[in-house]
Chains A and B, each alone.
Chain A
Amino acid sequence: MSTATLHETTQHESHGDVHHDHHHQETFITKYVFSQDHKTIAKQFLVTGIIWAIIGGLFSVIFRMQLGNPTATYPWLEDLLGHWAKGGKLQPEFYYALVTMHGTILVFFVLTAGLSGTFANFLIPLQIGARDMASPMLNMLSYWFFFLASVIMMSSLFVQTGPASGGWTIYPPLSALGEASMGSKIGMDLWLVSMAMFIVSSLLGGLNYITTILNMRTKGMSMTRMPLTIWALFFTAVLGVLSFPVLLSGAILLLFDRNLGTSFYLSDIVVAGKILPNEGGSAILFQHLFWFLGHPEVYIILLPAMGMSSEILSVNSRKPIFGYMAMVGSLFAITILAFLVWAHHMFVTGLNPFLGSVFVLLTLLIAVPSAIKVFNWLTTLWKGNIRFTPAMMFAIGFVSLFISGGLTGIFLGNSALDIHLHDTYFVIAHFHIVMGVASFFGMFAGVYHWYPKMFGRYLNNTLAYIHFWVTIIGAYLIFWPMHYEGLAGMPRRYYDFSNWESFKMFGGLNEFISLIAIIVFAVQILFVVNFFYSIWKGRKVTTQNPWEANTLEWTTPVRPGHGNWPGDIPEVHRWPYDYGKDGKDFIPQDVPVGADESKH
């Protein structure tokens, strides 16, 4: 072992030197395209994520127009979508394709790759004090696999029979049989290939994040001195590395069923009067494999938002985070429980009721760490010297949405209530608030907070406040009424409700929701304009530490080069939450502990 240790040490030393030499001979290609700098890769993830978010959001606007006013025709829609909107009316098949792609894009391409990809890459080396990731090469590959996945998914939008349309959960038999629907043809194949690339990308990224956090921390940065963002990103990566392979195995079996005539998921199926030869398969098997990833995926999306909000709430309350170890412990508890609750998505599949009650118990247990987190966020804010920066507004908004959406989770986690609520708009409302919008708020908070570090400029504040208020009010106006529709039994994934006597009364409400959705989407475009405009024209950052924060990223130059710190990496002497201590407003992590200083 001694040789290995010796080698390890020299490798670290040379690693630092190599960076200094490299970074002056970068060409445009190595600096902006095939970059191995974690900061550039983070920006690549962010910009790709933003493009996907616009596309995914636009899809929701289009299908909301159909739901809001099922009889209307929009001639421009035909110009945009061709035969999928014949006569200006969205075709039912394409409605399903839009819903499917909206889910796929937002869940995977925006809130997984766009969120973790951006902030894990950007923040991990900067906040733990490393020059780059453990393997910059794998990191670059992670982005380019994501890019490849994006190109394939994008191209599926342009094939004759349309993209996948069996729902983002791609349950068989719709996903396993080419003849089942339009979207089950080539669109489904492209979906699977794209997702395989996507899984490779997240695995490469996740392995790198974990290794970097555990092995590359600067001197003095013990695990318990890490910012909560890093803890959250660490648990996110662990979840991804352990759950995505299971989805991959499910997808491999699905590919065999689709293309090689096996019957893993298929049995006793009749398509258009023809009996298929498949025998002995089980569609429920796929659901188990899918949700074994699918549920952890919820936390893969949510944990980074939790971590960033914790950090931003503490910085802008000028107070230490309340209950640091409890925050870490609850992140850990959520990570463990995330693997033990998948079958709560399957209460109505004929699951053994006893097994169901076990999953009810485990599901409701998640309320405990969630409540601890909420309590700690609120107590961090309590009597704080709060600065309402845009990032802070979004972080507070995140807490609000997490509470609102979390409470409806208690309804849905109950298997008896779920019989009524399953596949209704109640579910839509629940997961959009708690996972979708809440994580978006965490992401926005992160972008507003770290934008000065990313681009050396500020975003426009006025536009940011408009963005915040319209988005939070809009989000509640869109999803709150859906709870009532769901309780009344209105099912999800329907193309047109106007023929149902029982749902006719929601016509006006649906129109209202659609109108708000369009307004909220327009405001997101405002954010995108602000984002890109400010990269070149925003107010320049002049101080090294604009938010007066303690974490290490603010000890780098305003525009850090490859390698992050021009000289030595700073040494860490304290935890990152010394705010309002001993009469000082803040004490950065690299300040040595004074002789007369009190312990935190």
Chain B
Amino acid sequence: MENTQTTTNNKIHPHKFTLWMGIGSIVMMFAGLTSAYIVKRNQSGWQTFDLPSAFWVSTILIVMSSVSVHLSVKSFKERGMNSYRKLLAITGVLGVAFIATQFIGFKEFWNVGMTLQANVAFSFLYVIVGLHAVHVIGGVIAIIVMSLKAFSTKKRNYSIVPVELIATYWHFVDILWIYLLIFLIMIR
């Protein structure tokens, strides 16, 4: 309770705190979807499935991007602006590649007859994985905007807060993906 006394000695920036609450909110949405998934799985007519192989490539890509965004923040803190910019851009590229492999995975899945309407199990896969991808796209857009700012010669950004915000969000979508992957492998 000692840090609740005043405004000035709070440790966390309000925007970061807002992001954490927002992450809690996103977690609740996926908790809703995955528990719906568990409920449906125990009812009749559920078809088990294997995840498309492209999703493994996705996993490698997003883990790599988490590493690169981490290194990017580290460079920023050490004022290595050049490597910060490069690593941020690399993260963006890896993010785009992640989305691409997700799309390839969906196509792979669809082409063997596991379409959206074919079985409620597949519908769930498309919705859950798709919604995660939507959250990744949001992050990719933020990273692209941030990279453009970083590369622009006009404006110099010296505040660490937005960089850390993006990094936190990016790690979150990475961890969320790994959770979903394990979930979809274990419970199908």
A interface with B by C-beta (< 8 Å): 1, 3-5, 7-9, 11-12, 134-135, 138, 203, 206-208, 210-212, 214-220, 222-223, 241-246, 248-250, 252-253, 256, 260-264, 279-282, 285, 288-289, 292
Chain A residue nearest to B29 (CB atoms) is A245
CB of B77 within 8 A of CB of A3, answer: yes
A-B contact count (CB 8 A): 140
B 98-121 to A, binary, CB cutoff 8 A, 1 in contact else 0: 000000000000000000110110
Does chain A have a CB within 8 A of B25?
yes
B interface with A by C-beta (< 8 Å): 1, 4-8, 10-15, 17-18, 21-22, 24-26, 28-33, 36, 39-40, 43-46, 77, 116-117, 119-120, 123-124, 127, 131, 159-161, 164
CB of B123 within 8 A of CB of A262, answer: yes
Q: State the majority secondary structure of interface residues on A.
A: helix
Q: State the majority secondary structure of interface residues on B.
A: helix
CB of A220 within 8 A of CB of B32, answer: no
Q: How far is the CA of A217 from the CA of B24 in the complex (A)?
A: 23
CB of A208 within 8 A of CB of B159, answer: no
22 A/B residue pairs, CB under 8 Å, sorted by A? A9-B8, A12-B7, A138-B18, A207-B18, A210-B17, A214-B10, A215-B12, A218-B7, A219-B8, A222-B4, A241-B24, A243-B28, A249-B33, A249-B131, A252-B131, A256-B123, A261-B116, A264-B40, A264-B120, A264-B124, A280-B43, A280-B119
Chain A residue nearest to B44 (CB atoms) is A280
CB of A262 within 8 A of CB of B117, answer: yes
User: Which of A11, A134, A215, A285 lies at the interface centre, i.e. has the most chain B CB atoms within 10 A of its CB?
Assistant: A215
Contacts of A208 in B (CB 8 A): 18
Shortest A292–chain B CB gap in Å is 7
Shortest A47–chain B CB gap in Å is 27
Q: Which 9 A-B pairs have the closest CB atoms?
A: A280-B45, A245-B29, A246-B32, A249-B32, A134-B14, A262-B123, A245-B28, A280-B120, A261-B117
Contacts of A3 in B (CB 8 A): 77, 160
Chain B residue nearest to A217 (CB atoms) is B7
Chain B residue nearest to A262 (CB atoms) is B123
Taking A246-B31, A252-B131 as contacts, is the C-beta distance between A12 and B8 under 8 angstroms?
A: yes
Contact among B4, B7, B25, B32 for A292, CB-based, below 8 A: B32
Q: How far is the CA of A22 from the CA of B36 in the complex (A)?
A: 49
Taking A4-B13, A256-B123 as contacts, is the C-beta distance between A250 and B32 under 8 angstroms?
A: yes
Q: How far is the CA of A482 from the CA of B183 in the complex (A)?
A: 48
Contacts of A262 in B (CB 8 A): 116-117, 120, 123, 127
Q: How far is the CA of A280 from the CA of B7 in the complex (A)?
A: 54
Q: How far is the CA of A253 from the CA of B36 in the complex (A)?
A: 10
Contacts of A279 in B (CB 8 A): 45, 120
Contact among A203, A210, A252, A261 for B127, CB-based, below 8 A: A252
Q: How far is the CA of A282 from the CA of B40 in the complex (A)?
A: 8
Contacts of A203 in B (CB 8 A): 22, 25
Q: How far is the CA of A189 from the CA of B148 in the complex (A)?
A: 38
Contacts of B77 in A (CB 8 A): 3
